[in-house]
Amino acid sequence: AALRLLAVLHTKDTRHPFCPPAVWLVPGLKPHAFLADLERERPAAQFLLRACPHVLPLRERIGLFRRLVRSDKNALGLLALETPPSTLIVVRRSQLVEDGYRQLAALPVAKLKGTVRVRFVNDLGLDEAGIDQDGVFKEFLEEILRRVLDPSLNLFKATEDQRLYPSPTSCVQENHLLLFEFVGRLLGKAVYEGIVVDVAFATFFLTQMLDRQRSSFYSFVDELASLDAMLYKNLTFIKHYEGDLSELELTFSYDEDVMGQVVTHDLVPGGRFVALTNENRYYGGFHSGHRVIQWLWEVLERDFSPAERALFLKFVTSCSRPPLLGFAHLQPPLSIRCVEVAEDQDTGDTLGTVLKGFFRIRSGRDAQRLPTSSTCFNLLKLPNYAKKATLRDKLRYAISSHSGFELS
């Protein structure tokens, strides 16, 4: 739990800094001794670097990576000779991407890690003067990356602040996946050789590259600002809007520009024809895979008797029988809203909620709060219980109390 909390806090700080950088470093940690432990493959050092690498200063981490690269080159025999063998590629400036792809995409990894020399051919078909002593290759690498990452090629797109991410419509190019792999090879070569290239990727894309979106604490909404700041601002405005939502004239749909054509997507069946109102807005907190929702279905199916299930229906909808043609015809649709047990507030599974959950003092009120309902809207207000048994007992008490509108 402590490591997960540390990871959440560090991620939050990288997005919106709230403490000095030195806070994330381990006091008294000697980089040279730590690196020596890594070379000896000490489990503690390896775990620390894998679980929370930020405890080591960035300069030291870069130095460690350069040492690992040197060890890799030595294992490949690239440092054994004073003048190691090299691979020569001939590139026409007018066909930079095509020639580069043809000669480097299928190059064996061992040769790609070795020395690559470049000879440019000008527009007249003549070899350009100059001997490549790494300078020409650096020029080639920078220029080919500039061209292949250009949004006009439609392999990548740029955000408003010119941060790059894969284009959703890159599939119109027949070999787009091979081109992505080629870009990865070029960037890998740059990192391997310590060449700094002018490439800025969007934060949400880097997060996906690092596979962090699989974390239970990852929030797609928090990353949305790095893709579309205006969309993030508008969604945040709608989420916290306290006026009459119908005045905004919104529907449960969104428009997308696909190759110059506007395509409307429904968020719910027929959503483009359903106006957003204060009554049907989503309050958040639960989703179909949430543990509390899973517990609720298990309790209703396995623990409750038919009579108790009828009481549950009456508690939520004011009617102990389902609609004649099934719940698909229940209006408004049956909904479940999360109520925070300690504060009686609506919450969601965002980073802020996670942090609040870590720091909230458990006063025992989670065992006191009962489920409530709004039968006019077929809405069950369910606390975010920590245990399935608590949910079962409190729900059974609530539906059996016959307290009407006085239950709390």
Question: Out of 19, 171, 319, 376, which one is annotated catalytic?
Answer: 376
Going by the DSSP 8-state scheme, the letter that residue 275 receives in this structure is: B
Give per-residue burial for 193-213: e unless 16+ CB within 10 Å, then b: eeeeeebebbbbbebbeeeee
Q: Is 19 a catalytic residue?
A: no
Contact 165, 159 (CB under 8 A): yes
Residue 192, CB half-sphere, CA atoms under 13 Å: how many?
18
The SS3 of residue 77 is: coil
Catalytic residue list: 376
